[in-house]
Structure 1
Amino acid sequence: MNRLYTVPLAVLAWFGATAVGAADPGDPVVALGKCYDPGGSVVQRPATFAYNCDNTGVLQDMVWSTWGADGARGTGTDSSVQCQPNCAQGTRLVNPVVVHAWNPQPAKDAACPPDARYFSDLTIAYPQGVPPWITPGTQWSPGTDFVTVDGAPAVHFSGLGPFCS
């Protein structure tokens, strides 16, 4: 289990799956959610997903070591845009990440699948380099805090849930 060492501040936003990963039979239906397509299926263990819905932040090459109602752990790469002078012209930064998700909750949006649960807490930790805007101890926005996880700068998203409408 991960421990949050510094209480955080915020950044980015949610997560919408863009690639399908296999789930083990018998696993509960739990997912990362943000930009969910109500016409699509609930994706578990995604290899790639955009965590802010506009592709300026994408977790890719994800390999999940655990996935279930008790939480998810995985490693991969964050490909995010430094939006300076703006997001269209910003530099794309690529960094290895360790991702933890926990606390699955039912969606509040009635358009979401009723049998799925969505991780409401998620951290993205940067053990080998970090985007310059992630400064532990500062806040980006409510529900997005910059923290330290296992000694690495990280983003903690709380109160997450899918947008299914």
Structure 2
Amino acid sequence: MGDSFETGLIGALPALRRYALSLCRKADVADDLVQTTVERAIAARDRLDPAMRLEPWLFRILRNGWIDRLRRQGSRGTEIDIADMPEAAVHDGVRASEAALMLRQTTDALATLPAEQREVILLVCFEEFTYGEAAEVLGIPKGTVMSRLARGRIALAAKLGIE
């Protein structure tokens, strides 16, 4: 398996983990999602269209895995991990403190957006997917991606007090 598929899969792991973390907000669950994605991708490798980029295909697999997990949780109820603890942030000077505060405010504001807007912002702005690739991952038209992105950016700026 020493080909471009393997290289691309390994190269996509950090971005997959970031996306998984943005969906579930728990490191252990994100790791499980990424592992499931890799397993499913390897098993379905022959179904990948050679004309399509690997990353959007992998993100679609991850998102579908997340949806599957949510459906399973719906029948089990809420799970609480008692080991979860907020990590201590180390601040080095005023600049680092301001950057950490802005990042926290942005993360909190992003979390309050509707899931549809949040997903589009993460895919297009953070993962740098094209509108078409984001549309493929989410299974929606490209125009819907563009309108959700516009509404999400406006809402995020308003929540952060940016004009």
The structure where helix makes up a greater share of residues is 2
Q: Which has the higher contact order (CA 8 A, sep 6+)?
A: 1
Same structural fold, with TM-score higher than 0.5 when normalized by the shorter chain: no
Tell which structure's C-alpha radius of gyration is larger: 2
TM superposition score category, shorter chain reference? under 0.3
How high is the TM-score relative to the length of structure 2?
0.24
How high is the TM-score relative to the length of structure 1?
0.24
